[in-house]
């Protein structure tokens, strides 16, 4: 069994971490061929209550394999979240302290918080003593309820495969979406931002997480109560406003899936430099019943009531006034219209 050592990150101030020596790994070789250095600091941000506690249980089982696989060249730092936004704070401190990688362990909610932790005041965070040249890599061990972002890469909820990807050290620059709300508040999203019915369904689905993936069905059923399609005005890439009639849902994808496996934005690619927009118009409840399979396999773009386009930025607002049109990103409820979304191309290194 490997020895347990105390290994603090430089300038570490907000959280304490346990570092462990483990297996063999050279994470310093990626597609750019960077020269290796001695030891790597990997920070694993774990949501132990994710997926009704399954994330915490699986993490404990995973640790022996993690130690064997990730090598004596790495310090493994565990940090457990205990409440909302804590993963964000942990990530920021890890990056400022010079961590080589921050790995989200959990579902899309944990990943969303970790991604937001890569930024501060609208800009990427840099290590305090290692300069802007040093970039902290984002990693993912998908152990959540939906794990929708992982589906874009064809990954399963297999933590051993995720560790193998980290061990290989291959990285890719990926895009991140930036959402700005009416009050100027900014949020970042790695997966899908959405508006109206789907966002409302996501809001209610979060109340039924104890039901596993079935929470998305329950959330959708609850969202239909009192739902009305809404005329919205949309501005693309800073051009003139256009009105879209009877919008049921509007999805802005940096990646393809949401809602526990629904391929809602099938053309999205996190490395494309664009956001993909899909607008469902004048959908009735029976349209979802009869066309649900198309929403899951991504063939709904051929429907006459579905519009899609690629954008660098998009602004969405109600034609009149400010009502209760829900807005969310990565499954997290953020507020209501109006909203602006834009793309930050190639802004984060990601283990692939």
89 labelled catalytic: no
Alpha helices, DSSP H, located in 137-213: 148-152, 159-168, 197-205
Q: What is the pLDDT of residues 307-343, one digit of tens each?
A: 999 999 999 999 987 778 999 999 999 999 999 999 9
| 17 in Cβ contact with 9 (< 8 Å) | yes
When pLDDT is averaged across residues 274-296 and rounded to a whole number, the result is 95
Grouping H, G, I as helix, E, B as strand and the rest as coil, residue 169 is: coil
Give the number of other Cβ atoms within 10 Å of residue 33's Cβ: 7
Q: Where in the chain is the domain with CATH 2.60.200.40?
A: 178-346
Q: Where in the chain is the domain with CATH 3.40.50.10330?
A: 4-169
pLDDT confidence tier of residue 21, bands split at 50, 70 and 90: very low
pLDDT confidence tier of residue 22, bands split at 50, 70 and 90: very low
Q: What is the pLDDT of residues 98-142, one digit of tens each?
A: 999 999 999 999 999 999 999 998 899 988 766 666 899 999 999
> Of the residues 108, 175, 194, 330, which is catalytic?
108
pLDDT at 32 over 60: no
Q: What is the pLDDT of residues 74-90, one digit of tens each?
A: 999 999 999 999 999 99
**CATH 3.40.50.10330 for domain 4-169:** yes
Lowest mean pLDDT among 53-57, 101-105, 193-197: 53-57
User: In CATH, which of 1.10.357.10, 3.40.140.10, 2.60.200.40, 3.30.200.20 is domain 178-346?
Assistant: 2.60.200.40
CA dist 7 → 11, 54, 101, 135 (Å): 12, 28, 15, 20
Quote the pLDDT of residue 334: 96
Quote the pLDDT of residue 11: 43
pLDDT confidence tier of residue 209, bands split at 50, 70 and 90: confident
């Amino acid at each position: 069994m490997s020895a347990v050592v105390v290994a603090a990150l430089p300038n570490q101030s907000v959280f304490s971490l346990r570092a462990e020596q483990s297996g063999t790994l050279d994470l310093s070789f990626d597609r750019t061929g960077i020269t290796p250095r001695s030891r790597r600091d990997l920070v694993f941000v774990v949501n132990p209550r994710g997926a009704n506690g399954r994330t915490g249980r699986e993490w404990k089982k995973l640790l022996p394999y993690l130690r064997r696989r990730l090598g004596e060249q790495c310090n493994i730092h565990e940090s457990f979240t205990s409440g909302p936004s804590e993963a964000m704070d942990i990530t920021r401190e890890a990056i400022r302290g010079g961590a080589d990688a921050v790995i989200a362990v959990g579902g899309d909610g944990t990943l969303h918080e970790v991604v937001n932790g890569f930024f501060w005041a609208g800009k990427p965070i840099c290590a305090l003593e290692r300069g802007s040249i040093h970039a902290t890599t984002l990693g993912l061990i998908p152990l959540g309820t939906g794990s929708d972002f992982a589906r874009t890469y064809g990954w399963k909820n297999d933590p051993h495969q995720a560790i193998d990807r980290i061990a290989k050290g291959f990285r890719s620059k990926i895009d991140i979406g930036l959402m700005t709300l009416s009050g100027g508040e900014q949020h970042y999203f790695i997966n899908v931002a959405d508006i109206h019915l789907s966002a409302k369904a996501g809001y209610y689905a979060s109340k039924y997480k104890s039901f596993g993936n079935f929470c998305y069905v329950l959330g959708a059923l609850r969202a239909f109560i009192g739902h009305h399609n809404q005329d919205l005005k949309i501005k693309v890439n800073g051009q003139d406003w256009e009105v879209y009639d009877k919008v049921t849902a509007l999805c802005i994808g940096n990646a393809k899936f949401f809602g526990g496996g629904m391929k809602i934005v099938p053309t999205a690619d996190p490395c494309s430099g664009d956001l993909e927009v899909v607008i469902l118009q004048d959908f009735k409840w029976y349209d979802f019943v009869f066309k649900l399979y198309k929403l899951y396999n991504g063939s709904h773009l051929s429907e006459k009531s579905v519009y899609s386009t690629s954008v660098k930025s998009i602004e969405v607002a109600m034609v009149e006034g400010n009502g209760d049109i829900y807005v969310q990103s990565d499954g997290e409820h953020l507020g209501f219209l109006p909203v602006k979304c834009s793309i930050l191309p190639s802004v984060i290194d990601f283990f692939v």
